[in-house]
Chains A and B, each alone.
Chain A
């Protein structure tokens, strides 16, 4: 087929049928449609079922535990999510679903729409000490720049992916790949990324990151100095000196406050790098993917010769990384040179304890977007009132039923953990932009006050009758129920 499409026709690439879809029509699946020459997912519409009884079992099937057979529970509450609700872009019309329901005698309204966000991106928090790449360097997918390294925060490397400059500010291919990367990340799929002058990583929401082909198991227990503080007591008496190797702050037991408190004797150890405060050293090596996020594989390389004045033969030295993944045990010989020995059983326990105290390393994907623009017109005739209502906590914002954090300041800029949203909650349009569900829940009376589309309110029962377009899911147990609880109402 020719690449030239007839006017008002788009080609859907959601499945291998590759339908040509005319404006105003749906493809063969009736799930993707051409709305104003945008490919929009229109089906199915996801409803969340609330298990009223705490701890109600989910029945896993085919390893997909979000799905549930619906049979075990009675007396459920239902929340209509925006997933599959469609959109009224460019938003001069009321949102596709404005649903009323009653919560503890109060009429509530949930305005449900799928927003098209070209001002959007994800923040990746990758739990690893390994150096992924220099700050500000480009992160690439399929060779295209899709984001950059921002910083590191307490045992995690932070990347920014997407954003309007990659989605629409670069080449067509950059925009397309960025959109695809964001969509995959948001829908929980695995994505391969490379960082200029840095590592190759494979990440997926709520999964351990894979750095240069190696799966990260644990997040550091703390920085090297923190580790000394946490475990000093357990080492005391079993070893004369401990060095916790860390690219950020390497800790040294005998010099550290915690060691001093216990009366650990001075050992004459001398460490490379820059001393910050006693027992805390910066820049003992270069960043890398070796011990504790440094580039070293031989821990002795960060040591200078022991000071003869303080050190003694048979001095016992433990060197360990911040995750306990790397460790080595030495004793000084007669000329005060460290000789590697087997780790004594008494210390084995403390190394295991470090590992035990490390939380599992994960990648978290936070979707971030601004709903401050025209999307609000689908909710109310007076858009700024919606913004104010959200700021005043009268209107609750959820994404596919998951709680959203609203940034202070102007607009409705929100962040949501995609792992708390139902599977495949995101879609895209070839603009390129992401389609994300967003729901605004507020009191019906408040909705009238802010100029809501009152004529378009439909009852929950009415919406639920359209069963063939719906998918019912159980809400995730960790999420607060999107509608306010009766107790919460009384306090307002």
Chain B
């Protein structure tokens, strides 16, 4: 991966006034009307050849000698991942979706040389069939409230000048010159900010406890170990706006009396690590991190600590053990880590998104933040909306918004217009909620009451072709592999739960085993040592609560209603619906389907491997499951 690092003239900002002068200089130099082609450089769009698109833009602009008239900016994740690679022509805000390198020529000709729009590359609303040109008018974006992600499409994460130009580090300067440390703690407390990593612990409380704890040095840590399958909120923030996290941590350090910290990033996020390393280096060069920040007495140094592939290291005490060089193994938390955390010192550990909110709260005030969301869950939350939904991607919404609003108004509803079955929130620690829970407001407390949890923001939409028992089996398998293995409850309990679920989905289950499964699940929930174990039974217990009939079907009728569990499913063709188009024949990997053209086809059960491709392919819903 080649880095785009611009050569800056080495700037050392030795005072808050110098920072402001530099910022004004940057803003003046960036003419507001100068066109800028912003290309999403998040991991998702990169996988879709977004960097090739950027390269072709660069080449064509150079060839046409437009490179002085037009800026190119590779930014962090925009969020509309379903439609990447994304290109936005600023300042007009024209959004092009699913852009390929071959489209670039046309875009330059239309949007740059003339004042036109390449319609075929714009977003087409699936309901109204109308084309929408402007990014922020698209329902996906229009229904969001983006404050943490606001700048993700507007800055190059590898260029600190971009961050400064949009107001970056002004909050840190404000804190260092005009606020006392206890004032900051109180302000964060009044804002109602709660931990965005899933725990929802009031951030003000946490900071206060650490501030009052005795000991030097104190540490601020950032939990960037985002391990929930399907979650990429923190990844996009670390990749796309790393300085927001650094600034938040510096403010937190000042508030609690710390001068050092670590960002623990999971090993599987190389781009996040890269962009954080660049950001730290640039901030240090500018005097915004390191010794005597902005010429004050305050020093703060940050290092990156990389994970090594263990989900359990997202647990606070396991994370700290890992930073210390030990295996990621949690310990009982009767003595809080704000008193004795990493290296036995007072520690404040917060999630990436929590840190990113801090500069905003300092800048705009606690009331501004507290006025968003609900009374007990203030502010916004970033969700990764994935699964069987039309608009997958990253969405940021005020707390208290309903699940229905997120999935249908922003997400566009269930993919392929199939029927909604469940939404899984909170990753492996969360649970599945059915349709009649869709009007629940999303916040820290309501979802937990219903048997799930908001968690860190993962939201997986499931349709009628999802088997809820298989979902429980999948998550339990994941957790049994990720358990650290220290305590009997989690280690042995999850193993046995997995065995039972595996048996049920393979057709070997009994009613007694469902009861045993529930018994072990409750045991794991109530007896585990750490958060991983305590929440590990949620996928199983929540699906048993809302979808028990499906479990019964597996063991009593020996059928999988969703048509997923292979031993319990038979695929067949409904001769009344089949038009004999032959599409299924082509899709079958084992040539199990035969039939004459325009006549009903049939499936040979001997050959069928139950992959379900025929059902996916059939345009007439003629493939049924028995």
Asked if A and B bind, the verdict is no
